[in-house]
């Protein structure tokens, strides 16, 4: 399997995530220090009480916002193993002749094979997660949902939007392709799979340890792409990965699954 990954983007966003987290933490600490000083050294501060409260509010608000941005980026680009690395291992043995695109296309993780396209929505969230139709529930994480873990959101709606974005990209960059099967899939990359109840999902949702077997079962349900359609889509996708490929479309750096 050919893996095409935007490593420069990952490195850039990893650095941004770390710096925003640090800045957010410093702003929060600054806000608390300002309040503490106002309590114990009110007369020595060259600020009125209203000014102290205003500066505290600004520091705490900015600190919280930057901390959330840092958390968002850290969960995707700092956390190890990253979602793309988990998918590499889970998909590699199934799609030996496929092309897996990470952080290059309108969806973060897209697999192209002769049997069609799979768009993965990778979720790292932990806790007791269940789904009924397109209604998701996450329990058992307490206050960490506000401070230490990004909320689950609605993986179904997210992956549907990803599929629509990829389809629009194909229509624009490979107009000769009349219709292409795009399969949405929700994949949980957390280590603990005992707390996942995913059977009720309208869209296939699996733990990454079961992904390879699930893809094999689904293989026969997709109509294979014609050679012309596959080549047109490959060329369209490879436009976004041109800096990673040679003139013949082969990766400049081979990345093993």
pLDDT in tens, the chain (257 residues): 999 999 999 999 999 999 999 999 999 999 888 777 776 665 666 667 777 788 889 999 999 999 999 999 999 999 889 999 999 999 987 888 899 999 999 999 999 999 899 999 999 988 889 999 999 998 876 655 555 567 889 999 999 999 999 999 999 999 999 888 899 999 999 887 767 888 888 999 999 999 988 888 877 667 789 999 999 999 999 999 999 988 777 787 767 66
- So what's the pLDDT on residue 254? 65
* Whole-number Å distance between alpha carbons of 105 and 89: 20
- Report the predicted TM-score, pTM, of the whole model to 2 decimal places: 0.86
Environment class of residue 142 by beta-carbon count within 10 Å: exposed (0-12), middle (13-18) or buried (19+)?
Answer: exposed
Give the pLDDT of residue 43: 62
Q: Kindly give the pairing relationship between strand 182-188 and strand 109-113.
A: unpaired
| pLDDT attached to residue 37 | 73
DSSP 242: G
Task: Give the pairing of strands 196-197 and 128-132.
Answer: parallel
Q: Where are the domains of the chain?
A: 2-77, 83-244
How many Å apart are CA 25 and CA 66, to the nearest integer?
8
């Amino acid at each position: 399997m050919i893996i095409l990954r935007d490593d420069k983007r990952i490195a850039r966003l990893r650095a941004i995530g770390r710096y925003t987290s640090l800045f957010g933490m410093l702003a929060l600490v600054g806000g608390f220090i300002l309040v503490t000083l106002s309590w114990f050294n009110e007369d020595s501060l060259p600020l009125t009480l209203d000014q102290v409260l205003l500066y505290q509010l600004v520091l705490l608000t900015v600190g919280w916002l930057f901390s959330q941005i840092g958390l968002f980026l850290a969960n995707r680009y700092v956390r190890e193993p990253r979602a793309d690395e988990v998918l590499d291992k889970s998909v590699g043995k199934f799609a030996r002749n496929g092309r897996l695109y990470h952080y290059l296309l309108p969806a973060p993780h897209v697999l192209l094979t002769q049997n069609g396209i799979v768009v993965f929505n990778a979720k790292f969230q932990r806790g007791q997660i269940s789904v009924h139709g397109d209604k998701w529930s996450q329990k058992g994480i307490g206050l960490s949902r506000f401070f230490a873990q990004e909320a689950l959101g609605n993986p179904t709606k997210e992956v549907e939007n990803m599929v629509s974005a990829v389809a629009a990209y194909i229509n624009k960059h490979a107009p000769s392709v009349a219709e292409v099967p795009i399969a949405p899939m929700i994949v949980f990359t957390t280590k603990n799979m005992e707390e996942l109840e995913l059977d009720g999902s309208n869209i296939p949702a699996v733990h990454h340890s079961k992904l390879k077997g699930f893809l094999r079962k689904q293989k026969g349900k997709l109509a294979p792409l014609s050679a012309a359609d596959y080549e047109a889509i490959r060329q369209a996708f490879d436009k976004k990965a041109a800096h990673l490929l040679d003139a013949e479309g082969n990766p400049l750096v081979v990345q093993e699954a």
